Amino acid sequence: MNLAEYFEKAKGLGVMATADNKGKVDMAVYSRPHVMEDNTLAFIMADRLTHLNLQSNPQAAFLFKEDGPGYQGKRLILTKIREEENSELLDSLRRRAYLTEREGAGESKFIVFFKVEQELPLIGSGN
């Protein structure tokens, strides 16, 4: 199953890990990525620590644990390739609307595109 099919069907919890240019690591909860036609992954981000880290270090990791018993899911090693701010594409990809200031209304949003460098199962080496 390719990533587009997988993330279309899979439900669960995602965590993105990034680090700044000095190696200080951050992790944040993210929803499923959008898989683009060129097989890049796109994530919608606010201008917070994850996005800030990606400005100086394009490397990231995304862990996705599927809902349900056991440990099914994926680990993806990613490299940022580009981003767009408040674009029409971003608006068309949104899965939910931000309704209140607390949820991020009014702040800039970015769609950040990544190349998948490596795909691994949630548990194990994938060999």
pLDDT at 94: 65
User: Which of 53, 59, 62, 58 minimizes the C-alpha distance to 14?
Assistant: 62
- Give the model confidence (pLDDT) of 37-46 as tens digits: 999 999 999 9
Task: Decide which of 126 and 40 is more confident.
Answer: 40
* pLDDT of 35 over the 50 cut: yes
Which residues, 6 or more positions from 3, have their beta carbon under 8 angstroms from its beta carbon? 33, 35, 39, 41, 116, 119
> Tens of pLDDT along 66-85?
999 999 999 999 999 999 88
Q: What is the mean pLDDT of residues 75-100?
A: 76
Q: Taking all residues of the chain, what is their mean pLDDT, rounded to a whole number?
A: 89
Structure tokens at 37: 């036609």
Separation between Cα atoms, residue 111 and residue 88, nearest integer Å: 10
Please, which residues have CB within 8 angstroms of residue 120's CB and are 6 or more apart in sequence? 74, 75, 76, 77, 126
